[in-house]
Amino acid sequence: MRTELQALRKYTRRAHPLENVKRWSWIGLRSLLVIGLCFIILYPVLMKISVAFRSQADMYDPTVLWIPKHITLDNFKKAIKTMDYFTAMKNTFLISAGTTLLQAVSCALVAYAFARLRYWGSQFLFLLVIFTIVVPPQTIMIPTYLTYRYFDFFGIARLFGGRGVNLIDTAWPFILSSLLAMGLKNGLYIYIFRQFFRAIPKELEEAAYVDGCGIGKTFFRIILPNAVPAVVTVMLFSFVWQWNDNYYVSLYFNKVKVLSTQLGMITTALHETFGTDPLHVSMIMNTGMLLVMAPLILMYMFAQRYFVESVERTGIVG
Amino acid sequence: MRKRKGSLARKKAWYGVLFSVPWFAGFLFLFFIPLMRSLHYSLSTLKLADGGFVTEFEGPANFRKLLLSHPTFNRTLTESVGNMIVNVPVIIIFSLFAAVLLNQKFKGRVWARAIFFLPVILVSSAIADLESNNFVTGVLQSASGEDGQSQFLQSFELERMLLESGMAKAFVEYITGAVDRIYEIISSSGVQILIFLAGLQSVSPALYEAAKIEGATGYEIFWKITFPLMSPLILTNTIYSIIDSFNNNAMSDLISDTAFRTFEFGLSAAMSWMYFLVIILILLVSGWLISRRVFYYD
């Protein structure tokens, strides 16, 4: 089939030179589009890198377009100091990594139940998962905040005359919500996992049961290793989204420093320390943004191939 | 679990219940009860008191206040819904186009894909907020002979050309507006491109070959094969894009400001419920409109 088609193509090319022109002009147009769009995507990042290494004099120098004349690490030093970068990065990393692991486990468990371990009412519960995706998180913002502000596990504290514990500014809100599969976009992760588990052939499980595997063991030893693309997708998404998240972090944390809230406050902090020259302040601000992105970009450089492939194979499609 | 004699199916069902317990507890305590509470708060005023808070039931007073006398609510709501309605079709069309482009075989495809998904990694509301009033980019563009941030990708020539060719003014403004916001659109269509790309790769090549042998042009193949087969994904992507637009818009800012700056918890809860109802309405309408035209292969 293939060779026939190729022969056909070769023939048309020889017989109709116009076909050739058409083909090449399409290739030209396509490369133009791809390169142009790639440039638009990369432009802000490249610009930030270029600005980060400049000295102040370079900003006013019209001959400097991309490569600075006086390369300096001054901006980095100032941005790191104002943002308290390393503390904030450590906190952000711990929260992102922790929630990622917990969410992957809890979402995979419930998704497997919805995909394969059906019970009475499980279809309806899956509809409820979809419902949690649809409700904007702002709708339950205040009750969520108050739940953790006066945390009272099933009303136990009140039973003994206590008042409930303040969990704001601790890691507990993140741990609890991701342990119970109710963290950032967890409905989506359950959906992805369920779609993938449903595509795994049933014979695989049946063979495991026949060989004497229990249901729990089958899940951890047979199903999860076969679901690596879905696991990778979900973990990457949840790590990255948690890293960039602004909403939950500012809801649960007042004093604990994490990157996205530090970035939100950087402008005012800079005005206090470095005076009111807006250009200088915004140079340091750019460097700060670059510093927040940098770990993700580094991670992506190593993981991108795996990421793209596994997302494509996840069957996110439905 | 108790050991009992039962069929495998029954055992599986029990394990299913066991596996869903964490999620169900989360749903109940971290979603359903808060949702009901938020409905309760929206109908009352909330006052912080010693060691907790008290609520006073007030009926629909908060809603009445929002609709009739709140200074910014109506405008912000219509604006953010308007933006969503404008952006979603552009995002869908662009991401389908980009996915078709990236699905073709050419040199450097791996690199192009990696770059197209970079926005998925980098999209962050904190950065977007700062970016919107970024002084440096403005200065740099004016230094390199262009005129300010918006000038970077402006399209006056395109606009004039389209207008002179006799197109309707509203339509032209829509297109050029989309061109001007190209970065915003690209950066919010990463996941959608992934979904379309995965869908495109699951289309059987036999269909395309048959079409080519019958003499169909690339244009015809797109509209008669690719587009119908992608239509279920257009529905998925539309719903995803609508939901995704909650993340960072003027409305969500207004809701959290009302709660944590001015401490009007009841008012903020009422706002979020109005917002939620509007979104549900939009989802239902758009889902209904699209699903009537969706084509299912099997």
pLDDT tens digit sequence for B135-147: 666 555 554 444 4
Return the half-sphere exposure (C-beta side, CA atoms, 13 A cut-off) of residue A213.
Answer: 16
Contact of B54 with B282, CB cutoff 8 Å: no
Q: According to the model, what pLDDT value does residue B62 have?
A: 81
Judge contact between B117 and B198, C-beta under 8 A: no
Arithmetic mean of pLDDT, B252-273: 82
Determine whether the interchain pair A119/B17 forms a contact, defined as Cβ–Cβ distance below 8 Å.
Answer: yes
**CA–CA separation, A48 vs A288, rounded Å?**
9
pLDDT score, position A111 = 92
Question: Distance (Å, rounded) from C-alpha B40 to C-alpha B259?
Answer: 15
DSSP assigned state of B133: T
The alpha carbon of residue A126 is apart from the nearest alpha carbon of chain B, in Å, by 10
Residues of chain B neighbouring A10 (CB-CB closer than 8 A):
none
Residue spans of chain A under pLDDT 70: 1-2, 153-163, 275-276, 308-318
pLDDT digits (tens, 9 = 90+) for B97-124: 998 888 888 888 888 888 888 887 877 7
Query: Judging by beta carbons within 10 Å of its beta carbon (0-12, 13-18, 19+), is residue B23 exposed, middle or buried?
Result: buried
Among B112, B187, B248, the residue with its CB nearest the CB of A38 is B112
Nearest to B272 among A37, A113, A136 (CB): A136
Closest residue on chain A to B124 (Cα)? A244
* Any A CB within 8 A of B52 CB: yes
CB contact under 8 A, A180 and B29: yes
Q: Tell me, what's the pLDDT at A313? A: 65
Contacts of B144 in chain A (CB under 8 A): 62, 65
How far apart CA A312 and CA A102 sit, in angstroms, is 24
pLDDT in tens, B244-260: 877 667 787 788 788 77
A175-185 as b/e: b if 16+ CB within 10 A: bbbbbbbbbbb
Residues 6+ apart with CB under 8 A from A66: A46, A50
Residue B148: its pLDDT value, please? 40
Q: What is the pTM of this model?
A: 0.83
A59:B27 CB<8 A: no
Does residue B201 have a pLDDT over 50? yes
Contacts A–B by Cβ distance under 8 A: 279
**Both tokens assigned to A274:** 């470095």
Pair of tokens at residue A219 = 């899940």
ipTM (interface pTM): 0.80
The neighbouring-strand residues paired with A284 are none
End-to-end CA distance of chain A, in Å? 31
Site from A8, A141, A290, A299 to mutate, B interface, most B CB atoms within 10 angstroms: A141
For B131-190, what is each residue's pLDDT tens digit? 666 666 655 555 444 444 444 445 667 777 777 777 777 777 777 777 777 777 887 888
User: What confidence score (pLDDT) does residue B141 get?
Assistant: 54
Do residues A312 and B113 lie in contact, with contact meaning Cβ atoms separated by under 8 Å?
no
Rg for chain A (alpha carbons), in Å?
26
Q: B1 touching A, CB under 8 A?
A: no
Q: Measured in whole angstroms, how far is the alpha carbon of residue B150 from the centre of its chain?
A: 24
Cβ B293 vs Cβ B111: under 8 Å: no
H or E stretch at B198: helix B190-201
| Res A312: pLDDT | 63
B40 to chain A nearest CA, in Å? 10
Which of 111-150 (B) contact A at CB < 8 A? 112-127, 129-131, 134-137, 139-140, 143-144
Name the nearest CA neighbour of B78 among B251, B238, B281: B251
pLDDT of residue B13: 87
Helix, strand, coil share (%) of chain A residues, nearest 5: 80, 0, 20
- % of chain B surpassing 90 pLDDT: 5
State whether residue B103 sits within 8 Å of chain A by CB: no
Verify whether the Cβ–Cβ distance B268 to A44 is below 8 Å: no
Candidates B105, B122, B245, partner chain A, best to mutate (most A CBs within 10 A): B122
Contacts of A289 in chain B (CB under 8 A): 127, 130-131
> How far is the C-alpha of B190 from the C-alpha of B194, rounded, in Å?
6
